[in-house]
Chains A and B, each alone.
Chain A
Amino acid sequence: MGVGGETPGFLTSRLSDGIAWARKWSLFPYPFVTACCGMEYMSVSSAHYDLDRFGAAWPRFSPRQADMLLVVGTISHKMAPVLRRVYDQMCEPKWVVAFGVCTCTGGFYDNYATVQGIDRVIPVDLYIPGCPPRPETVLDALMKLQAKIQKQHHPLVGPVRSAVVGSK
């Protein structure tokens, strides 16, 4: 039952659960706001819908201080290298949320300028469809991400691995 080993033992898995609990309630989002969905992000994060209830209110505009990359809005091919760079600058553990249908699949912008889903540029943990998604959908998605984080294996050292990959 080595720390960070392949097969987690009793102690490390309890420790992992504890870390997961702490991490899921203190997500620091980096809002990579590009387009229309940003308006709904503003609504979600301000008083009416209040993202703070889930511990994810305070945006960190430095990628190095954030652990949740919220990609809000269409990513064009001109923007893709920037997104890639921001993602690379973020420290582990990190999660990526594709906010809105443009980031999921490109949406109805099937043309020369737009990336057909940000998963072609960076790996994505959670997809929120909708053009733009309603604030309620975003809150639901955040809870789903929390559930996902809880299920993942969180070693003291090394990258976070999802539960399926981590156990043999």
Chain B
Amino acid sequence: MADVADNNPVLKHLLDQFRDAIIETHAFRGDVTAVVESARYHDVVLCLRDDPECSFDFLVDLTAVDRLKLKQKPRFEIVLHLYSRSRNARFRLKTRPVPDSDPVIDTVVDLYPAANWAEREVYDMFGIRFLGHPNLTRILMYDQFVGHPLRKDYPVNKRQPLVEERPVHNDRPGMVFE
């Protein structure tokens, strides 16, 4: 942990500022990553955006991971990829919303307008709610869809048709992947 922080000024700065809130850091294949406590998530993002030591002004991507099969707790993880134009550097910030039954996290739409649809997608696919999001509705799936398809416990081919399906010949029995 210490050597990663030594090599990366952003991480070092972040550790100085939020020593208690940073749960873990690593730099696999050069991708610098920090995991932050969910309660301080919004503050850390604000610091990453506005602090001149960081100045990550561009939200590249926001997504989530369901860690059910990794058998880690808490179950969900929000992943942010940030880019700084002035420093030409990238940074990955992760946080773990709780509780597993109804994960909730602060929105970052107020900081990065780009996060709007990305957060809606995470809500749609994983069922993670973002507090303060202006329009938290399903985006890729339809409103009648039950469940969240990218959760690890949703079977890959569990279909929920909107129109009644016509009978077809040679229907093959559905295979269910785990």
Contacts and interface: CB of A to CB of B under 8 A. Distances in A.
Interface in A46-86: 77-78, 80-81, 84
B73 to A, nearest CB: 26
Main secondary structure, interface of B, reads: loop
Interface residues of B, number: 17
| Interface size of A as a range | 10 to 19
B156 A111 contact: yes
Contact of B166 (A81, A111, A112, A120): A120
B160 A112 contact: yes
Main secondary structure, interface of A, reads: loop
A113 interface: yes
A78 B138 CA distance: 12
A112 B157 contact: yes
Interface in B111-137: none
A110 B162 contact: no
Minimum-distance CB pairs A-B, first 9: A120-B165, A78-B142, A80-B163, A112-B149, A111-B156, A81-B162, A84-B163, A111-B157, A110-B157
Interface of B: 141-142, 149, 154-163, 165-166, 168, 175
17 contacts: A77-B142, A77-B159, A77-B160, A80-B161, A84-B163, A110-B157, A111-B157, A112-B154, A112-B158, A112-B159, A113-B141, A113-B149, A117-B168, A120-B165, A120-B168, A121-B163, A121-B166
Interface of A: 77-78, 80-81, 84, 110-113, 115-117, 119-123
